Amino acid sequence: MSQLHDLTVAELAAKLRAKDVSAVEVARHFLARGASHRSLGAYLAVDEQVTLAQARAADARIAAGESAPLLGVPVAHKDIFVTRDFASTAGSKMLEGYRSPFDATVVQRLAGAGAVTLGKLNCDEFAMGSSNENSAYHVARNPWDPARIPGGSSGGSAVAVAARLAPAATGTDTGGSIRQPASFCGITGIKPTYGRASRYGMIAFASSLDQAGPMARTAEDCALLLSAMCAPDPDRDSTSLEIAPEDFTRSLNDSLEGLRVGVPREFFGAGLAADVRAAIDAALQELRQQGAQLVEISLPRTELSIPVYYIIAPAEASSNLSRYDGVKFGHRARQYGDLIDMYQKSRAEGFGDEVKRRIMVGTYVLSHGYYDAYYLQAQKIRRMIADDFQQAFRQCDVIAGPVAPTVAWKLGEKADDPVANYLADIFTLPGSLAGLPGLSVPCGFGEAGMPVGLQLLGNYFGEAKLLNVAHRLQRVTDFHQRIPVAVDAAPEARA
C-alpha cells in the first residue's frame, strides 16, 4: 500500500468501488503517513479510533452495494469547521479543547457522500492571515521548502494535500485563503460563488466574505468534492443560495475553442515578480494553443481592494468575535476581579496578536464618527469593484492571472510587517469582495523551485467553467503530479 498516497481522489474512489482496496486500509495508510510527517505541522487533531470507525462503516456501505461518489475516500477538515468527533479550535487558544455538539453542514455533506475524516487541519487563528504563522499552536511548513510558509489561512489544508498526507481537504476563503495556499503549495483549490456552500458550522471571521471550498491535487478531484459540498441550506444559513446541486464533473472535457480569457492589465504591473509572470505567461499561452482567445481587460479598482477589504473584514470580525467573552464558552481567565476584568483578561489571554489587531481596527471603523468615513465608503467601493467585474465579463468568459505577486516567502520574513502580508492578497481580494468563484491551478515553478498557481475567476455560478479550464490545462501539464522533494526526506532534514 506504499503508493496509495500517490492516487488522486478519483482514482482512490474507483479502487474502493472495485474493492481493490478497503476503506480501512486506505485510512490506516494515511494515518500512518500523517504521523510520520508531523514536523510539517499540517494537523491539529487526529483520532485514529474515530477515523477507523468511519472507514469500517464505509466498507460496510460498499459491501451493501452503495455507490456514493466519495465512499471510503479520506478527507481532512480545516479546523474552522466544527465537528462532533474532533476538537474545533479555529487555530486559537480561545477555543482550545472545544467540542461542538454538531457537525458543520459541509462536514455533514461530505460524510453523506461517503468521505472518511482523517482529522482537523492547522490554520491561521480564526482564519486571519496569509501565512499560517498566526496559528496559536504551531506553524505549518511548506513541503516544497520547510523553511517557507505554506500560505494561509488554509495552510494546513494545502500542506496536507501537497505532502500526500490526505487526498483532499476542506478550506475556507475570505480574501484568498484557499487560492493563495493552493498556489504556494502547488495544488488545486476553488472558492465557489458566495452562498454556494453553507456557512453553518463554519466559525465566522467575516460573514459577508467567508466561503468554504475544496482543496485537492486536481481539478477533477475538486469537482467531485464541490459537487458534494454545495447545496441550499436555508433553514440553517440565511446566506445560502437556492441553487440546485450541480455535478461539476460533467463539463470537465469541454473544448476551450473560442473561450475568451480576460487578462487584467492591473494584475501584471511592476509588483509582479518576474518568475511568477513567466509561469503565468506560459500557462496563458497553453490556453491559447487549446483554442482560447486572450483578451486584455481592465479591473481599474484592483488597488482599492486592499483598503476596502481591511476595513470590511475587520469590522465584521470585531462583531463576530465579540461573543468570545469567557462567559458561555471559550477561554476564561483563571484570576479576575469583576465582570469587566474577566472580559478583558479572557480576551487578552485567548486571542493572538493578529486577531487583536483586526478587532481593534474593526471596532474603530464601526465607532461613532468613523462609520460613515470608513465602513460606509468601503461598502460603496466594494459595489464598484463588483461592477468592474461585470463590465469585464461583457468582454470575456473567464479571467486569468496570478494568485500572488511572489512565490511563498521564508517563515518569519514578514512577521514584523503586517501590511506586507496584507499586500500579498492584492490579486485575490477583488474576486472575494465581489463574491465571485475563483480557482488556483498549478502552472509552473519560480524562485528556488517554489510552485506558482494560475488564478481563474468566473462570473457568478461559473464554477464548472473554471474547473474545466483547469482540467484542460492539467491534461497537458504535469505540475500537479510533481511531489515535493522535502516530503519523504529524513525528519531532521525537514526541521
In the prediction, which pLDDT does 493 show? 35
* Residue 286 lies inside a defined structural domain of this protein: no
Instruction: Specify the CATH number for the domain of residue 57.
Output: 3.90.1300.10
> Of the given ranges (2-6, 297-301, 402-406), which has the lowest mean pLDDT?
2-6
In the prediction, which pLDDT does 416 show? 83
Dist. CA 285–CA 278, nearest whole Å: 11
What is the edge-to-edge ordering of all strands in the sheet holding 293-297?
A: 43-45, 116-121, 74-78, 168-173, 211-216, 188-191, 438-445, 451-458, 398-402, 260-264, 293-297
Dist. CA 135–CA 39, nearest whole Å: 15
Dist. CA 215–CA 438, nearest whole Å: 12
User: Are the CB atoms for 281 and 247 separated by under 8 Å?
Assistant: no
In the prediction, which pLDDT does 379 show? 98
Residue range 45-64, pLDDT digits in tens = 999 999 999 999 999 999 99
* Residue 438 lies inside a defined structural domain of this protein: no
Q: Which three cell numbers stand for residue 36?
A: 510520520
Dist. CA 32–CA 471, nearest whole Å: 30
Q: Indicate if the pLDDT at residue 418 is higher than 90.
A: no
Higher pLDDT: 486 or 329? It is: 329
Q: Confidence class of residue 218 from pLDDT cuts 50, 70 and 90?
A: very high
Q: Confidence class of residue 490 from pLDDT cuts 50, 70 and 90?
A: very low
Residue type for position 74:
P
**Radius of gyration of the chain, Cα coordinates, nearest whole angstrom:** 21
Q: Indicate if the pLDDT at residue 243 is higher than 50.
A: yes
Q: Confidence class of residue 487 from pLDDT cuts 50, 70 and 90?
A: confident
Q: Confidence class of residue 328 from pLDDT cuts 50, 70 and 90?
A: confident
Average pLDDT score over the chain: 96
Q: Indicate if the pLDDT at residue 489 is higher than 60.
A: no
Looking up cell 486584455 gives 296
Dist. CA 383–CA 386, nearest whole Å: 5
How many distinct structural domains can be found in the chain? 1
In the prediction, which pLDDT does 491 show? 41
Residue range 473-486, pLDDT digits in tens = 999 999 999 999 76
- As a whole number, mean pLDDT of residues 462-482 equals 97
* Residue 117 lies inside a defined structural domain of this protein: yes
Domain membership of residue 241 as a residue range: 4-258+461-494
* Residue 110 lies inside a defined structural domain of this protein: yes
Q: Indicate if the pLDDT at residue 495 is higher than 50.
A: no
Per the document, the length of the chain is: 495
In the prediction, which pLDDT does 448 show? 96
- As a whole number, mean pLDDT of residues 270-297 equals 98
In the prediction, which pLDDT does 419 show? 85
In the prediction, which pLDDT does 63 show? 96
What is the DSSP-derived secondary structure letter of residue 102?
S
Which residues are catalytic, by number? 78, 153, 177
* Residue 293 lies inside a defined structural domain of this protein: no
Number of H helices, E strands in the chain: 16, 11
Q: Indicate if the pLDDT at residue 494 is higher than 50.
A: no
In the prediction, which pLDDT does 427 show? 98
- In 3D space, the residue among 13, 93, 103, 101 whose CA is nearest the CA of residue 61 turns out to be 13
User: Are the CB atoms for 454 and 443 separated by under 8 Å?
Assistant: yes
Residue range 147-162, pLDDT digits in tens = 999 999 999 999 999 9
* Residue 421 lies inside a defined structural domain of this protein: no
In the prediction, which pLDDT does 390 show? 98
Residues whose CB falls within 8 Å of the CB of residue 270, separated by 6 or more in sequence, listed in order: none
* Residue 35 lies inside a defined structural domain of this protein: yes
Sign of CA dihedral 122, 128, 133, 138: negative
- As a whole number, mean pLDDT of residues 333-351 equals 96
In the prediction, which pLDDT does 117 show? 98
Q: Confidence class of residue 415 from pLDDT cuts 50, 70 and 90?
A: confident
* Residue 17 lies inside a defined structural domain of this protein: yes
In the prediction, which pLDDT does 103 show? 98
Dist. CA 396–CA 263, nearest whole Å: 9
Q: Confidence class of residue 488 from pLDDT cuts 50, 70 and 90?
A: confident
